[in-house]
Structure 1
Amino acid sequence: MIEKEQVLALTDQGLTIFSHYLGFEVNLHRNFRSPFYDDRRASCHIYYDKKSPTYKYYDHDIPPMRGIAFGL
């Protein structure tokens, strides 16, 4: 079985997973509209968490909607 750490190592710490499922190349310096609901303003972003170390998703409109690429 493939481990979480292996997946993260093969996907630039999860960044390419986000880009694949969002359907666009993630820009870490810009917010975007949520793909999970009718988001009228760009309230989501991807950021690098140094503690994990992984890329994470965060939605400012729905704070519980956050986490790593395969934890949403």
Structure 2
Amino acid sequence: MRSDEEAERFVEKADLTDYDFSQMKPVQFEFEKKAATLNMRIPESLLAAVKRKALRKGVPFTRYVRMLIERDVSRP
């Protein structure tokens, strides 16, 4: 679905009893337009470790860093 409104219309009309939502996870910022940039200096060894971890998770390292930031700021 391409908008909140489209999702809301679907939910209003659909019988959701047939869906298994047990594996769903909340999504925060990943679908927002990326208009801001972050430029920071870190040790090469830390960047290499981040890239290895992202590779193991199967995501680009910049997305992995965004995921870490999103997870942290989402906590109370």
Which structure has the highest strand share of the two? 1
Name the TM-score, length of structure 1 as normaliser. 0.26
Which structure has the highest helix share of the two? 2
